[in-house]
Amino acid sequence: MTAAGFQVSGSAPRNYQQFNAVIMAPFVEAVIAGAGVGAGDEVLDVACGTGLVARRVAEVVGESGSVVGLDVNPGMLATARSLDVPSGATIAWSEASALDLPYADGRFSAVVCQQGVQFFPDLGQAAAEMARVAAPGARIAVSFWATLDDQTYMRAQADGLRAAIGEEAAAPLAGAFRLSPETMSAAFVAAGLRDISAEELTSTVSLPPMDPYAAQQVSTLPVAPAFAALTDAQRQAYVDGMGLALAGYRTPEGRYDCPFATWVVTARK
Ligand SMILES: C[S@@+](CC[C@H](N)C(=O)[O-])C[C@H]1O[C@@H](n2cnc3c(N)ncnc32)[C@H](O)[C@@H]1O
């Protein structure tokens, strides 16, 4: 069993921050609201990546609160550390596994996790750990992409990359879409949590022109090395194919207004 999914290296974490923030941005508030985060809270952001959620949480909790961003990937954390923190806020970055959180029982008043749970090798253990470090009454909110059938950009990407780099090399892409709200809710129940609810959210994201965005966004993913190994012509064929596949979402300005769908599952300790 691998210790973690969605592992990237080299320039991918910096690229992730630059080219994925636009896709994640509409869903950040939902996971924060789902955990009921407010001023003064002490919040854990599990699988924080480059800190897209942690930095917004820092603004919400203010100077009287605190945020810990935890991730297993040192490159993601290095990018997180390199970015400005909202004025007056405190964010501690921690390299550790979601399966073995290095915190005392009941340490946090809220726990969030955006697009991380589907990559954990043992979801039950991760849910148990989130429940353990949550204080009595604290809320936990996790988000994960809805099925690939409900996606636009990412379905076109999966089809295009399978053709470009091959089924085997593209296989890790499927991991992002493998979790159902039923499985997540069951893990929370098994962890002893209550008041569990699941909501599917769809948001239309205005993506930049596919040339060059489609290739830049692949550079943020675990499949980036396989894509980089292609010829210039092969990469360009992928980019052109994305433009064609998403032609129905193209705006007169040449951007692509694509709906993305995610689940947000919340629970209370
Ligand atoms: C798609 S990224 C999401 C990052 C961030 N939450 C965001 O919203 O941009 C998935 C993250 O999960 C992290 N991850 C995967 N398995 C993990 C584990 N077992 N423990 C901690 N982090 C893990 C990866 O390192 C990666 O940063």
| Nearby residues of 20 by Cβ (< 8 Å), 6 or more positions away | 52, 217, 220
Beta strands in the chain (DSSP E): 42-46, 66-71, 91-95, 108-114, 134-145, 194-207, 256-268
Cβ–ligand 1 distance for 72 under 6 Å, the answer yes
DSSP reduced 3-state for 68: strand
Residue 1 has pLDDT above 60, yes or no: no
- pLDDT score recorded for residue 7: 84
Cβ–ligand 1 distance for 71 under 6 Å, the answer yes
Domain assignment present for residue 41? The answer is yes
Domain at 55, CATH number: 3.40.50.150
pLDDT per residue over 80-103, tens digit each?
999 999 888 889 999 999 999 999
Domain assignment present for residue 105? The answer is yes
pLDDT per residue over 27-85, tens digit each?
999 999 999 999 999 999 999 999 999 999 999 999 999 999 999 999 999 999 999 99
- pLDDT score recorded for residue 3: 64
* Nearest protein Cα to ligand 1, atom 4: 49
Domain assignment present for residue 214? The answer is no
Q: Ligand 1 atom closest to Cα of 113?
A: 6
Q: How far is CA 206 from CA 25, 139, 209, in A?
A: 11, 31, 9
Total domain count, the chain: 1
Domain assignment present for residue 82? The answer is yes
Q: Ligand 1 atom closest to Cα of 126?
A: 19
Domain assignment present for residue 168? The answer is no
Domain assignment present for residue 156? The answer is no
pLDDT per residue over 42-55, tens digit each?
999 999 999 999 99
Instruction: Domain of residue 138: give its range.
Output: 12-151+173-204+259-268
Average model confidence (pLDDT) across the chain: 96
Cα distance between residue 83 and residue 112, in whole Å: 20
pLDDT per residue over 230-258, tens digit each?
999 999 999 999 999 999 999 999 999 99
CB crowding 104-141: b at 16 or more within 10 Å, else e: eeebbbbbbbbbbbbbbeebebbbbbbbbbbeeebbbb
Going by pLDDT thresholds of 50, 70 and 90, the confidence category of residue 2 is very low
Domain assignment present for residue 119? The answer is yes
Cβ–ligand 1 distance for 73 under 6 Å, the answer yes
Domain assignment present for residue 230? The answer is no
Cα distance between residue 81 and residue 101, in whole Å: 20
Q: How many CA atoms lie within 13 A of 90 on its CB side?
A: 10
CB atoms within 10 A of CB 237: 15
Work out the average pLDDT over 210-228: 96
